Amino acid sequence: MVAENYKRILNDISDVCKNTGREPGSVRLIAVSKTKPVEDLMEAYNAGARDFGENYVQELSEKIPQMPEDVRWHMIGHLQRNKVKYLIGKVFLIHSVDSLRLAEEISKESVKAGVTTNILLEVNASGEDSKWGGSLDETIELVGKAAKLPGIAIKGLMTVAPYTENAEDNRKYFRALKQLSVDIEGRFEDNISMDALSMGMTGDYRVAIEEGATYIRVGTAIFGARDYSNN
Ligand SMILES: *Cc1c(COP(=O)(O)O)cnc(C)c1O
Q: Which residues fall within 8 angstroms of residue 74, CB to CB, at 6 or more apart?
A: 30, 51, 52, 53, 54, 91, 92, 93, 94, 95, 215, 217
CA-CA distance, 136 to 180, in Å (whole number)? 7
Domain-located, residue 192: yes
CA-CA distance, 176 to 170, in Å (whole number)? 10
Domain-located, residue 99: yes
Nearest by Cα to 93 from 220, 183, 196: 196
Band of the pLDDT at 225, cuts 50, 70, 90? very high
Q: Is the pLDDT of residue 38 over 80?
A: yes
Count: domains in the chain: 1
Domain-located, residue 35: yes
- The residue whose CA is least distant from atom 11 of ligand 1 is 217
Domain-located, residue 199: yes
Q: Which residues fall within 8 angstroms of residue 4, CB to CB, at 6 or more apart?
A: none
Q: Which domain holds residue 67?
A: 2-222
Output the ligand 1 site: residues, CB below 6 A.
32, 34, 55, 76-77, 160, 201-202, 217-221
60-75 mean pLDDT: 98
CA-CA distance, 60 to 69, in Å (whole number)? 14
Dihedrals φ, ψ of 65, to 5°?
-70, -15
Q: Is the pLDDT of residue 223 over 60?
A: yes
Gyration radius from the chain CA atoms: 17
Domain-located, residue 59: yes
Domain-located, residue 230: no
Domain-located, residue 231: no
201 C-alpha to ligand 1 centroid (Å)? 6
Q: In CATH, what number is assigned to the domain containing residue 83?
A: 3.20.20.10
Domain-located, residue 229: no
227 C-alpha to ligand 1 centroid (Å)? 13
Q: Give me the pLDDT at residue 230, please.
A: 60
Q: Is the pLDDT of residue 189 over 90?
A: no
213-231 mean pLDDT: 90
Q: Give me the pLDDT at residue 191, please.
A: 77
Q: Is the pLDDT of residue 231 over 60?
A: no
Q: Which of 93, 132, 158, 201 to mutate to test the pocket of ligand 1 (most atoms within 8 A of CB)?
A: 201
What does the pLDDT look like over 78-100, one tens digit per residue? 999 999 999 999 999 999 999 99
CA-CA distance, 113 to 115, in Å (whole number)? 6
